[in-house]
Amino acid sequence: MTSQISTRTVHAGEDRRKPYGSLTTPIVQTSTYTFEDTAEIMGFMRQKELAGATYSRTDYGRYGNPTQTAVEGKVASLEGAEGALLFSSGMNAITTTLGALLSNGDHLVLVQEAYHRTREFAEIYLRRWGIETTFAAIEDPDALREAVRPTTRVVFAETPSNPYLGIMDLSALAGLADEHGLITIIDSTFATPINLRPSAYGIDLVIHSATKYLAGHNDLLAGMVAGPDHLLNQIREARDILGGVASPHDAYLLLRGLKTLDLRVRRQNDSAMRVAQFLDGHPAVQQVFYPGLSSHPQHDLAVAQMAGFGGVVSFELRGDLETTSRFIDLLRIPYIGPTLGGVESVVQQPVMLFSLDPAEREAAGLKENLVRYAVGIEDPEDLIEDLDQALQGSQQLGGAP
C-alpha cells in the first residue's frame, strides 16, 4: 500500500475483493454469527485462545463486526499505529480507555483545557473509583512535570485544545513519559491524522471523537482509539465487557466518511486560515485564537508539529454577552450548535451551551464574548462576507464598550 495518506483514506483497511464482488465494504447487519457445526465452534475457540484479542471472526456483535474491522484497519493506517478500536462515541472511547488502564490508587495527569465531559469523568467517576487527577496547563511544561507523582500512570492531553486551541508539545510529553514510565494519550479530534500523527512523536494512544472530522457529515456518533496492540488488547477486553460498540450501520457511514477525510480537512484548513486572517484584522474582533496565525502564543510549535491548523477558529468580540449573542443570531450560513468537523459550518457561543450559571462559566475559564466557529466546506468568501455583515450588525445594534 502506498504511503500517501490521500490514497490510504480510500483503500486502507478494506479487502480488495469484497463479498459478492461489491465495490464498497458491505454493512454486515447482524447481532449474531452462526457456526456450521460443533467442530467449527471448537476451531474458533482454539484460534481465539491462541490469538488473544485478535482473531479472524467472531460469534457475537459486541465483540466485532466485519464493517467495524474495516474502519479500524483504515484508522490504524492513517495514524501509523499497530491497531485501532471503534467505539459508540468519543466519550465512550475515553472512558473505556481510562477505565482499562487505571486502577484504584493510580494517578492521572489531565490537561486543564480538556473537554469538559472528560474533566467531569475524572472528577466524578475516577475519583469515586479511587483514582486521583491533577490538572496542568497545556502550554506549561514545568506544570506538567510537577504534576507527575510516583503513582502517576497516564498523562492525557488534547491538541489542539477546545475551545482556545492550545498546542501540546508532543515531543516534550513523550520525553517526560519515557522518563517516568507513563502511558501518554492524546485526544487528536481537532487535528485529525491529516494534520498531525501523534504516534510519530512517541505518543502511545490517539483518541478521536469520530463523530467529528473522521465521519465528517454530522450523521453519526462514534469514537476511535489507535495505538500499540499491547495496550489495545486491554482496552478491547474492557470494550467487550462494557459493551460500547458502534452499530454496523454507523461503522459503514464512518467508513464512507473517511474516504473523503483528506479532501475535507485540507479544504477546512485553507478556509479556516482565511477566516482567521479576516477576523484578525476586523475592528469588531478583540482577539483570535488560531494556531496558524503568528499571533498565536504557540504558533512556532504548531508550525513545527502540524501539517495544517484545522477547521476551528475561536475569537473574542469587542462586546459583552448580549453583543456576542446578537452576532451569533445575525449569522446566515453556519448552524448554531455544539459540534464541529462536518461539511456544514457550525458556530457556538460556548458560555451559552456550557451553563447558565455565571460562576460556573467563570470557573471554566470561558468568557462571555468568546465564539467558536467550526468551518465547513462552504466557499470561504461566502463565510467571510457573512461574518462581516454579522459583525457590523451586532456592533451597530448594541455598540461596543
Asked if residue 275 is part of any domain, the answer here is: yes
pLDDT at position 3, please? 75
Active-site option among 212, 239, 267, 372 = 212
Domain of residue 108, CATH code: 3.40.640.10
Per-residue pLDDT band at 401 (split at 50, 70, 90): very low
**At how many degrees (to 10) do helices 90-101 and 229-242 cross?**
110
Stretch 310-335: mean pLDDT? 97
| 247 and 352, same domain (yes or no) | no
Task: Show which of 229, 258, 287 is a domain's final residue.
Answer: 258
CB of 216 closer than 8 Å to CB of 184: no
Q: What residue numbers bound the domain in which 140 lies?
A: 5-28+65-258
| 138 and 242, same domain (yes or no) | yes
pLDDT digits (tens, 9 = 90+) for 58-74: 888 898 899 999 999 99
Catalytic (active site) residue 372 = no
Asked if residue 197 is part of any domain, the answer here is: yes
| 83 and 113, same domain (yes or no) | yes
| 252 and 266, same domain (yes or no) | no
List the beta strands (DSSP E) in 92-229.
107-111, 132-136, 152-158, 183-187, 205-209, 223-227
| 283 and 239, same domain (yes or no) | no
Residue 96 clears pLDDT 70, i.e. is over it? yes
CA distance 352 to 349: 6
Residue 45 clears pLDDT 70, i.e. is over it? yes
Asked if residue 50 is part of any domain, the answer here is: no
| 73 and 209, same domain (yes or no) | yes
Active-site option among 106, 169, 187, 204 = 187
Structure-block grid coordinates of residue 354: 456550557
pLDDT at position 55, please? 52
pTM: 0.93
The residue type of 316 is E
Stretch 137-157: mean pLDDT? 94
Catalytic (active site) residue 335 = no
Asked if residue 315 is part of any domain, the answer here is: yes
Asked if residue 342 is part of any domain, the answer here is: yes
| 107 and 142, same domain (yes or no) | yes
| 192 and 266, same domain (yes or no) | no
pLDDT digits (tens, 9 = 90+) for 163-222: 999 999 999 999 999 999 999 999 999 999 999 999 999 999 999 999 999 999 999 999
Task: Show which of 258, 278, 305 is a domain's final residue.
Answer: 258
pLDDT at position 286, please? 97
| 76 and 203, same domain (yes or no) | yes
Mean pLDDT across the chain = 93
Q: What is the largest CA-CA distance in the chain?
A: 79
Active-site option among 115, 164, 213, 252 = 115
Active-site option among 18, 48, 57, 62 = 62
| 242 and 284, same domain (yes or no) | no
Domain of residue 360, CATH code: 3.90.1150.10
Stretch 266-288: mean pLDDT? 98
Stretch 99-115: mean pLDDT? 96
| 207 and 274, same domain (yes or no) | no
Q: Cell numbers 476451531 correspond to what residue?
A: 43
Task: Show which of 258, 293, 309 is a domain's final residue.
Answer: 258
Instruction: Tally the domains of the chain.
Output: 2
pLDDT at position 307, please? 98
Catalytic (active site) residue 62 = yes
pLDDT at position 194, please? 98
Asked if residue 363 is part of any domain, the answer here is: yes
pLDDT at position 44, please? 87
| 240 and 269, same domain (yes or no) | no
pLDDT at position 52, please? 54
Residue 400 clears pLDDT 50, i.e. is over it? no
Percent of the chain scoring above 90 in pLDDT: 85
Residue 399 clears pLDDT 60, i.e. is over it? no
For residue 304, what is the enclosing H or E element? helix 299-305
